[in-house]
Amino acid sequence: MDVDVDVEAAPFSKKLLMMPKLPHILSLEEKKFLLAVERGDLANVRRMLHKAHRKDGYIDINCMDSLEGAPSPSP
């Protein structure tokens, strides 16, 4: 008993796929920003946030250090 099945005509959805935001290499300014936040340096954090607001693309204020919490290498 032969049944013809058209595999190419399978129904599919045209929804956009939402890709997760993958980590990227931090710029020097983003590293300085995270260091100032970690140290509690409010003056520099505020200055950097004002600059980020004025200059689009200066830093990603939602950046994360992908190695944060990773064990440091043994000497």
3-state secondary structure labels for all residues of the chain: CCCCCCHHHCCCCCCCCCCCCCCCCCCHHHHHHHHHHHHCCHHHHHHHHHHHHHCCCCCCCCCCCCCCCCCCCCC
Please check the confidence at residue 39 and state whether its pLDDT lies above 90.
yes
pTM above 0.85, yes or no: no
> What's the whole-number average pLDDT of the chain?
77
